[in-house]
Amino acid sequence: MAEVTLDLRGTPKAAAYVQLKQHVEAVLEGIDDEITAMSTMSCLLHHGFGHLWTGFYRVVQPGKLLRVGPYQGTLGCLEITFGKGVCGVSAATRETVVVPDVHAFPGHITCDGRSQSEIVVPVFGKNRELIAVLDIDSEHKATFDAVDQQALEELMTWFSRPRA
Ligand code: SME
């Protein structure tokens, strides 16, 4: 098992995600536990890229309510209703939402005033049911783009893949 948390901050983004994914897959080898996977991904993404907040909101009432799960960062709000904030919009639409400027997103939920931009990626289980969303916040504007979207959506396929 890889033992260290990689620091990917000087590495070009696409290459950084390749390393990140290899690391996640190696650490989770042989593990079939969603909470362990969420914890590991939060840790490696957060420290690898130096984000402000990185973690998961889990679906606890399908179509209605998200509740915070494994994360890294300052205190996150505990529950988010489907349709509210960036996380709730992603959950309701089952689509990734990239927000270059959180202040321009109607209904954005502020958990940490330092947040400037955000990406939220839906997480599907083995039957295409929505099980969570991955939420990443940055202290800088326009941190996330199509490269992040593609790589994070690919990383989230861990949860829908058949596992040993
Ligand atoms: N900004 C998110 C809420 C969660 S936190 O930032 C940790 C949103 O608008 O959904």
The pLDDT profile of the chain, 164 residues, written as one tens digit per residue, is 545 788 999 899 999 999 999 999 999 999 999 999 999 999 999 999 999 999 999 999 999 999 999 999 999 999 999 999 999 999 999 999 999 999 999 999 998 899 999 999 999 999 999 999 999 999 999 999 999 999 999 999 999 998 76
Ligand 1, CB cutoff 6 Å, lining residues: 53, 76-77, 80, 85-88, 108-109, 111, 115, 118, 135, 137
For residue 85, the model assigns a pLDDT of 97
User: Which CATH code is given to the segment(s) 13-159?
Assistant: 3.30.450.40
For residue 163, the model assigns a pLDDT of 77
For residue 3, the model assigns a pLDDT of 56
User: H or E segment at 118?
Assistant: strand 117-124
> Which of 58, 75, 77 most suits a substitution to test ligand 1, by most atoms within 8 Å of the C-beta?
77
Residue 36 makes CB contacts below 8 A (sequence gap 6+) with: 28
Tokens of 140: 């800088």
CB atoms within 10 A of CB 68: 19
Residue closest via CA to ligand 1's atom 3 equals 109
Residue 119's closest CA among 11, 12, 5, 17? Answer: 17
CA-angle at 77, arms to 71 and 79, nearest 5°? 100
For residue 164, the model assigns a pLDDT of 62
State the distance from the centre of ligand 1 to the C-alpha of 110, rounded, in angstroms: 6
Domain boundaries, the chain: 13-159
For residue 29, the model assigns a pLDDT of 95
* Residue where the block lists tokens 């994070």: 152
Amino acid at 78: L
Residue 41's closest CA among 56, 58, 57? Answer: 56
